[in-house]
Amino acid sequence: MRLLVVEDEARMAAMLRRGLTEDGYSVDVTGDGREAVWQATEVDYDALVLDLMLPGIDGFEVCRQLRAADRWMPVLMLTARTEVADRIRGLDGGADDYLGKPFSFLELTARLRALIRRGAVPRPSILSAGTLRLDPAARSAWRGQVLLDLSAKEFALLELFLRHPDQVLSRTVILEHVWDFAYDGISNVIDQYVGYLRRKIDRPSGVGARGSSLWPYLRWTLPILLNCPPNSCGRPPASAGRSWWTRRRPTRAGSAMWSRVCAAV
Ligand code: CA
């Protein structure tokens, strides 16, 4: 396993290099934020140990730039800044773990092992599809530049859809993730909330505006979503017939932009 240690304090950097090397890791060290971004972009590291206070750009910005560049190696922030606000900022900014100095070296290596087990899978802190964006930390969602006014359930539904691109979600799956045991499973509450969400998502671009609205695509996709069992292939219901399919096909305009939304929903 190859690590990049980003630490500008020479003694700490030397201690980390020695300890991690003895633990069996290949270790590169840099003390500069911009250099760290360059190295982590060029080399496929298995994890980063990232100090926050650095020359050039700070650790928050290093992490943000790496995630923006689609680099998803686990990042452990290791810093003397242990304010709760700093920890929240680091984790919401794309870091995977946060350890305050002074620290136990055994704990550091245990956390690194746990992070490396998870791998470098994409885990964006802001979810998006086309012009639709959702920030789980800020509890905010936008269509383009327009902030959407979503209720807690609508927000949870949208987050669920955006976290499962290329999947058809059945009512059962939606229930398991968005509702709790108190829901009796008999009423059509899911259909209602999906309807509310569809209207709010489309409002910023004008409901029914041909080529700019999500409506045609959601109308096309949601019957599939709500009528198919989990993990089905996303085809229309067998009873739908060709006219159903043709009627609900999206127009060519805008389809590229919304293809991911359709897939997500
Ligand atoms: Ca420092």
All domains in the chain, ordered by first residue: 2-118 (3.40.50.2300), 127-264 (1.10.10.10)
pLDDT at 142: 94
**Token pair 């968005």 in the structure block, residue:** 178
Dist. CA 68 → ligand 1 center (Å): 23
| The pLDDT value given to residue 256 | 42
CA of 103 to the centre of ligand 1 (A): 15
Distance 36 CA to ligand 1 centre (A): 13
> Please, what is the angle between helix 171-178 and helix 189-202, to 10°?
80
pLDDT tens by residue, 82-123: 789 999 999 998 999 999 999 999 999 999 999 999 888 888
Whole-number pLDDT of residue 184: 67
Query: What's the 4 CA to ligand 1 centre distance in angstroms?
Result: 15
Tell me which of 188 and 16 has the higher pLDDT.
16
CA-nearest of 201, 205, 211, 204 to 261 is 201
**If you measure from the C-alpha of residue 50 to the centroid of ligand 1, how many angstroms do you get, rounded to a whole number?**
9
Q: What is the pLDDT of residue 205?
A: 64
The helix/strand/coil state of 238 is coil
- Please, which pLDDT band fits residue 18 given cuts at 50, 70 and 90? very high
Strand 75-79 with 2-6, pairing: unpaired
Whether 2 contacts 43, CB under 8 Å: yes
- Distance (angstroms) between ligand 1 centre and the Cα of 263 equals 44
Say if residue 251's pLDDT is above 50. no
Q: Is the pLDDT of residue 50 over 70?
A: yes
Residue 85: exposure state from Cβ atoms within 10 A (0-12, 13-18, ≥19): exposed
**Of 6-10, 34-38, 127-131, the least confident:** 127-131
Residue 65 CA to ligand 1 centre (angstroms): 18
Question: Is pLDDT of 230 > 80?
Answer: no
Average pLDDT, the chain: 80
Distance 265 CA to ligand 1 centre (A): 44
The residues whose Cβ lies within 5 A of ligand 1, an ion, are: 8, 51, 53
Q: Give the pLDDT confidence score for residue 122 in this predicted structure.
A: 85
CA–CA distance, 117 with 120 (Å, rounded to integer): 9
pLDDT bin (cut points 50, 70, 90) of residue 185 is low
Query: Could you say which DSSP state residue 56 is in?
Result: S
Average pLDDT over every residue of 173-185: 79
**Cα 136 to averaged position of ligand 1 atoms, centre (Å):** 29
Q: Specify which residues 131 forms β-bridges with.
A: none
Does pLDDT of 210 surpass 70? no
User: What confidence category does residue 190 fall into, taking pLDDT thresholds of 50, 70 and 90?
Assistant: confident
ω into 102 cis (within 30 of 0): yes
Task: Identify the burial level of 112 via C-beta atoms within 10 angstroms of its C-beta, where 0-12 means exposed, 13-18 middle and 19 or more buried.
Answer: buried
Under DSSP, the state recorded for 209 is: -
Using CA atoms, how far residue 220 sits from 124, 237, 255, 259, in Å, is 27, 12, 12, 12
**Nearest alpha carbon to residue 53 among 74, 70, 28, 36:** 36
Cα of 31 vs centre of ligand 1, distance in Å, is 8
Q: How far is the CA of 55 from the centre of ligand 1 (A)?
A: 8
Query: How far away, in angstroms, is 126 Cα from ligand 1 center?
Result: 27
Which has more pLDDT, 251 or 9? 9
